[in-house]
Amino acid sequence: MPVISDPTDFNEEELYVDLRATLGLPLFLKCEGFNFAGSIKLKAATEMVDAAERDGILRPGSVLVESSSGNLGVALSMIAASRGYGFLCVTDARCNLPARRLMETLGSRVHVIDEPDASGGYLGARIAYVRALCASDDRFVWLNQYANQSNWRAHYRTTAPAIARRFPRLDVLFVGAGTTGTLMGCARWFWQWNRRVRIVAVDSVGSVTFGGDPGPRMIPGLGTSVRPQLLDATYVDEVVHVEEPDAVRTCRRLARRGFLFGGSTGTVVSGATQWLARPDRRDLTAVAIAPDLGDRYLDTVYRTNWLEEQELHGEDTLDPDELATLSG
């Protein structure tokens, strides 16, 4: 194991879970949560901060500000703490409480937006707050993960080539769509290196990323209420939309086999399961990217009362003992 002095120096890049025994389908899950930030967002956060420092945008006394539903905020909190910057995360009520507490423990401030914008989404309201804050004080530096080219370049440089090295005969790659940084970085890499890999984006029902109708989404991470500026859909072969109860059911199914993953991972694996279910796809080599682990979701996805409150429970989500508890 390495000896490090900076928390960004460690990220486990080579861990995969073979899900054939769990799902009965040929799917390998690339686990991106084993670093000090706990998610794949450490890669984008590091790349964006490094670029801002090289360009002279970040200077001593600067205060980072970013809109985040949780994971990027944690990653930036960690980097800000290690490099001596202030950080303000602008989020909304869907941000998991453990993520908020972790950011504050690392010395960051968290501002929660509790009123949606005119379209009914929180992302537009979060971005408007960030813009107003930066206009009022030039100490604030907004990296803007939704348009920052370093977001996708982080995955072009690291995630995609790592997958290609491990699976030289890869047929299909499943990538969740949030800011689409991971999606665009991986898709561009495989296209530019002439690798015949089918890129399947996984999105949440209620997200407008690929032109769907906007709707309520309770699980943070994937999906948007504002179309990401980074997205170039010409690199994407197919899109699978996942209902949130299906994502929850997948998370809990994996947990019952000892694998505790986050809501974004449950969404990606659920979408991959749908796509691979056809008999003619059973012999493919398929990889899905797991953005995070499940410890920050213990009070939401893995808590039966929360599922009942959000009307995400049901026969397809909970096992018989849990359903009996609810009805009794």
- The whole-number pLDDT of residue 93 equals 81
> Which of these, 212, 192, 194, 193, lies nearest to 202 by C-alpha position?
212
pLDDT digit string, tens, across residues 157-202: 999 999 999 999 999 999 999 999 999 999 999 999 988 899 999 9
pLDDT at 323 over 60: no
Give me the domains of the chain, ranges plus CATH numbers: 7-35+149-309 (3.40.50.1100), 41-142 (3.40.50.1100)
pLDDT of residue 327: 38
Query: Per-residue pLDDT averaged across 280-300, rounded?
Result: 92
What percentage of the chain has pLDDT greater than the value 70? 93
- Residue 287 phi/psi, 5° resolution? -125, 135
Mean of pLDDT over the chain: 90
| % of the chain residues with pLDDT over 90 | 73
CA distances from 24 to 28, 105, 236 (A): 12, 41, 26
CB 190 within 8 A of CB 164: yes
Q: Give pTM, 2 decimals.
A: 0.91
Helix runs in 63-178, H state only: 71-83, 97-105, 123-136, 149-157, 159-166
Q: What is the pLDDT of residues 263-273, one digit of tens each?
A: 999 999 999 99
Q: What is the pLDDT of residue 321?
A: 46
